[in-house]
Amino acid sequence: MVDTIVFLVAAVICLTGALGVILARNPVHSALMLVMTLFGIAVQFVSQEAHFLAAVQVIVYAGAIVVLFLFVIMLLGVDTAQNLEIGALPAQKWAALCFGVGSLALTGYIILAVDNPVTGRPGMGGAIDETANVRLLARSLFSNYVYAFELTSLLLVIAVIGAVVLARKPVKQLPEEAGR
């Protein structure tokens, strides 16, 4: 019963998003709709007990790839300023609210359905077994691969530093430099 409801809700989210990608006239909207579809798919993964895939779906696709899309689109210059007051239909705000509350409820359900790591209480969906993907993955990530894992964080930091330095426009001649 619960499974069916989750499936239906997620399916609606997926399809709405997918339609939105095609129908939206603004490429930024299309990209955002794609995020919605990917989130829906992530929920489907969770309901299939593929927790790791769900996490990767959110982190890699929704988090990284679509954000990259957005960057590219914005770099290419979709900068027509939009007046939020005019375009919005009155119903839109309510629809947004409903979707927001709905997503929150869904998240809450997922938290309840799986094991609670703080209280140790098994969720409604039954206890997670020891051999679950996420747990095994976490274990190897923090034992055999911990060194590579930690250094990856350094890699990301340094990539950000370098990218900022390379992308930054020299705003003005710094006073110290001008004096030399």
Partner 1 sequence: MEALLAFTRPPLDWHALAPELTLLAVGTILTLVDIIWDEKSKQVMPTLAGVGLLAGLVPILTLALDGTDRAMFGGAYMVDDFALVMKALFLIVGYIIVLMSVDYIRDGDYYENEYYTLMLTSLLGMLMMASSRDLISVFVALELLSIPAYMMAAWRKGGRRSNEAGLKYYLMGVFASAIMLYGMSLIYGLTGSTSFSSIASAMALNDGVTAMSILGVLFVLIGFAFKVSAVPFHNWAPDTYEGAPTPVTAFLAVASKAAGMVALIQLVFVAFDNHEVIQPFFWLIAALTMTVGNLIALRQTNIVRLLAYSGIAQGGFMLVPFAVAGQASERALQAIVIYLIIYAFMNLGAFSVVLAVSRKTRSGELESFGGLFQYAPGLAVAMTIFLAALAGIPPAGGWFAKFGLFRALLDAGGAWAATLGVVVAINTVIAFAYYARVLGQMWFQPIHEGDERPIKLTSALGSALVIALVATMAFGILPGLVGHFGEVAVLSTLGR
Binding footprint of partner 1 on the chain (CB under 8 A): 117, 120, 130, 135, 139, 142-148, 151-152, 154-155, 158-159, 161-163, 165-166, 174, 176-177
Question: Nearer Cβ to partner 1, position 4 or 153?
Answer: 153
DSSP-derived secondary structure letter, 91: H
CA distance 70 to 87: 21
Helix, strand, coil content of the chain in percent (nearest 5): 75, 0, 25
- CB burial class (10 A; 0-12, 13-18, 19+) of residue 42? buried
User: Least distance in Å: CB of 174 to partner 1?
Assistant: 6
- Min dist CB 116 to partner 1, Å, is 10
Query: Which lies closer to partner 1 via its Cβ, residue 25 or residue 172?
Result: 172
Contact call for residues 40 and 14 (beta carbons, < 8 A): yes
Nearer to partner 1, 82 or 144 (CB): 144
CB of 81 to partner 1, least distance (A): 30
